[in-house]
Amino acid sequence: MRVLFSPDAFVTQRFGGVSRYFAELHTELVRLGVDARLFSGLHDNAHIRGGHPALGSLPLRPRLFLSGRTFRLYAAAQRAAHIVHPTYYSAEAFGRRPHVCTFYDLIHHKYPGQFRNDTTAERQRLWARRADRIIAISHATARDLVSVLGVPEEKISVVHLGVRIPRPRTQRRADAYVLYVGNRGGYKNWRIVVEALRDPRLKDLRLVCSGGGPANREEQAFLESRHMARRVTFVAADDVTLSRYYRGALGLVYPSLYEGFGLPPLEAMAEGVPVVAARAASIPEVVGDAALLFDPREVDDLVHALCRLLDASVREQLERRGAERARMFSWESTARQTADVYRSLL
C-alpha cells in the first residue's frame, strides 16, 4: 500500500497543528510498514527536515502553486500509488486514485465573516463530494460535516489526533502565570482571558501568550485600555521552548469558541500542566473530566475557574487526571486507524 501526501500544509505553515499532524502521521505510518510518501514542496516548515528559512521570502501563492504543480507531476509518475491524501483541501484532485481527505473543522462555515477572500469553505465543499473517504479529527467535526455539508455518516471515519508524552522529569515548579497558546483573533476568544485577569482575586497572575506573533496595534491598545499591558507577555517559541513555558505555567487557559480538536490542551496535559478550557465544540470531547471547563462567553465563569486554579490541591488533581487523559491519545493509534481507512478503499 503506497500513500502520497500533498505538500499544501507544509508550504503554508512553518509551525501549526495541521503540518504537525501530517508529520507525526507520516512517521508512524512508516513505522507500521506503510509506504507513505510525504511530498513537502517549497517549504520552511519546522516539523519536517529539509526546509530553508529563505523560502519565507518567496510569496505564499507562488510557493503553493509551484509545489502543487510539481506534486501533480510526481503523483502521475507514481504508478504504484494506491491512495492520495491531500494535506489541506487542495484546489483539485490528483488523478483517479482513491482520495482520503482529513477535515479538521468547519470554522470557515461557522464564522465566514472572519475569513474574507478565503476559498477554504468552497474547497471544503469540493472535497466533501470528491473524497472517497473523509477522516474527521473529532466527533464534533463529524457532526458538523453531516449537518453543514450534508456528508453521509457512512463516508466519515473519526480518528482523533495524538500527543507525545515527554520523558519523566523532576517535579515541576509552577510560576505565577497562565499560558495561552495559538492565534488570538476572532473565535479564538483571547480577550476574555485579559478581562478575567483584571479581577482583584487574580491580580498576581500574569499571562504569557505563545503563537500568533507579537501584539498588533489593536491588541496593544486593548491591553492599555484595560491597564493590563505590563501583565501580558508575547513570546515566540519552538517546540523545545514551548515545552519549557508549559512546564513553568500555573496552567493553560484555552478559551476558544470553536475547535475541530484543539491540540494545546492535550499537549499541556501531557506535560503535567492543569488545563482551564472552554466548554465548546470538540474541546470537552478531548479533555474529558481532566480539565476545568467554563462558558467561553461568560467572564465570571472563567474568573471562577482561574480562582480554583490557585488552589494547590485542585492543581494536583488536574495534573494527575490530565496525565491519565493524555495517555489515551497517541500518534501510533492515529496512524493505525488511518491505515485502516486506507485499506477500506483497496
pLDDT at 35 over 70: yes
The CATH fold assigned to 177-326 is Rossmann fold (3.40.50)
User: What is the value of pTM for the model shown?
Assistant: 0.92
Is residue 56 within 8 Å of residue 44, measured between CB atoms? yes
Cα 47 to the center of its chain, rounded Å: 13
Buried b / exposed e along 13-48 (16+ C-beta atoms within 10 A): bbebbbbbbbbbbbbbbeeeebebbbbbbbbbbbbb
pLDDT for the residue numbered 193: 98
Q: Is the pLDDT of residue 168 over 80?
A: no
pLDDT surpassing 90 at residue 14: no
- Residue 275 has what DSSP assignment? E
**What pLDDT score does 56 carry?**
77
The whole-number pLDDT of residue 81 equals: 85
d(CA 78, CA 122): 28
Inter-residue contact 142 to 171 (CB < 8 Å): no
Asked whether the beta carbons of 239 and 265 are under 8 A apart, the reply is: no
Sequence spans of domains, the chain: 2-162+330-344, 177-326
CA distances from 79 to 76, 142, 293 (A): 7, 32, 50
Q: Please check whether residue 99 is in contact with residue 131, taking contact to mean a CB–CB distance below 8 angstroms.
A: yes
Q: Do domains 2-162+330-344 and 177-326 have the same CATH topology?
A: yes
Q: Which of 249, 255, 251 is nearest to 195 (CA)?
A: 255
Question: How far is Cα 68 from Cα 249, in angstroms, rounded to an integer?
Answer: 41
The hierarchical CATH code for the domain 2-162+330-344 is: 3.40.50.2000
Average pLDDT over residues 115-120: 90
Rounded Cα gap, residues 202 and 243, in angstroms: 24
For residues 117-133, average pLDDT = 95
How many Å from the N-terminal Cα to the C-terminal Cα in the chain?
9
Summarised one tens digit per residue, pLDDT across range 296-332 is 999 999 999 999 999 999 999 999 999 999 999 999 9
pLDDT digits (tens, 9 = 90+) for 253-290: 999 999 999 999 999 999 999 999 999 999 999 999 99
Q: How many residues does the chain have?
A: 346
